Amino acid sequence: MLGTCALRFGAVMALAVTCGFATALPAQAQIGSERYAAIVADARSGNVLIAASPDERRYPASLTKMMTVYLAFEALRDGRVTLDTPIRVSAYSASMAPSRLGLTTGMTLTVEEAILALVTKSANDAASALGEFLGGGSEDRFAQIMTMKARALGMTRTTFRNASGLPDLDQVTTARDMALLGRRLMQDFPERYGFFSTPHFVFRGRTHWNHNRLLQEYDGADGIKTGYVNDSGFNLVASAQRDGVRLVAAVFGGASGRERDRHMMALLDQGFGQMGVAVAARRSAPAVLASAQASPLRGRHVLATAQAAP
């Protein structure tokens, strides 16, 4: 189990871990297109199986909501809120678009409803409302908390500027950092992780479906989050479990949601293969891009992490 580490980046962006874990910038793997950044890791050990530009800074888009949810889970764990705690929607939060739950100024929703809106609909209005609530009335303050938490978790190349992932030139991350966040969501909140496999939820009579198609199309998939803005392309952090092996993976830069999903499924297949798990037939069988194959990494590479500050 990884312990508390002090992290720094050198001039060549190779990750150095001062507490003695053997880790380095993984060798580059070809994944069909230079626009992609990707990583696949064993979620239990943190060992990186496949990587392509894993430390290249990219825009997270709605993957940002993973950190918003992480901090909501933390507030639930610490007893600062309950699932039934009401959140009052401000005019600012109600104005968030384009993906939205349809919240209006003065409306209330519960913490549980806000979390469900983030993991399924990817609702920006709900994300902003939750961020304002957890940030003591200020989304800007909440974004600072998000970035501080990222550093505490070992996400050294990530900066957050809002709770939703709406475009901001200073809001950046990497495939490695987001895979690390996915891993910490599993490890730190196993009792809450099922939120990410919710197929849909109903809010005020309307059904909102999960944007993550892997939940229906890839055997063993149980999370995590999709994301898209024009400058990022189509992003996805995914988790899947088969035969006792759990993987976490991140893909940035898809030209379309479907192409991104194909790349992700091909990479997960390869990752499970490297872990000795037979690849199962898919529930639906989209064509998998042959160019999505990547070479296994040589040596021991891990998702470097630090223990979260209490």
Q: Indicate whether 309 pLDDT > 80.
A: no
Return the SS3 of 131. Answer: helix
Tokens for 202?
């109903």
Q: Indicate whether 308 pLDDT > 70.
A: no
pLDDT band at 35 (very low <50, low <70, confident <90, very high): confident
Tokens for 147?
């970035």
Catalytic annotation, pick one of 62, 90, 232, 239:
62
Catalytic annotation, pick one of 53, 65, 93, 232:
65
Least reliable range by pLDDT among 5-14, 137-146, 200-209: 5-14
Question: Phi/psi of residue 68, each to 5°?
Answer: -60, -45
Closest CA to 90 of 49, 127, 36, 45: 127
pLDDT band at 65 (very low <50, low <70, confident <90, very high): very high
- Identify the CATH number of the domain defined by range 7-292: 3.40.710.10
CA within 13 Å, CB half, 253: 18
**Residues whose CB is less than 8 angstroms from the CB of residue 1 and which lie 6 or more positions away in sequence, other chains included:** none
Is 121 known to be catalytic?
no
Stretch 15-23: mean pLDDT, rounded?
29
**Segments making up each domain of the chain, as ranges:** 7-292
Distance in angstroms (rounded) separating the CA atoms of residues 186 and 182: 7
pLDDT band at 158 (very low <50, low <70, confident <90, very high): very high
Could you give the C-alpha distances from 59 to 75, 88, 103, 214, in angstroms and in order? Answer: 26, 29, 26, 22
Tokens for 126?
């709900």
Catalytic annotation, pick one of 90, 93, 122, 239:
122
Residue ranges for the known binding site for substrate are 225
| Contact by Cβ (8 Å): 120, 200 | yes
| pLDDT tens digits, 160-183 | 999 999 999 999 999 999 999 999
The β-bridge relationship of strands 233-242 and 221-229 is: antiparallel
**Residues whose CB is less than 8 angstroms from the CB of residue 112 and which lie 6 or more positions away in sequence, other chains included:** 83, 84
pLDDT of residue 25: 32
pLDDT of residue 23: 35
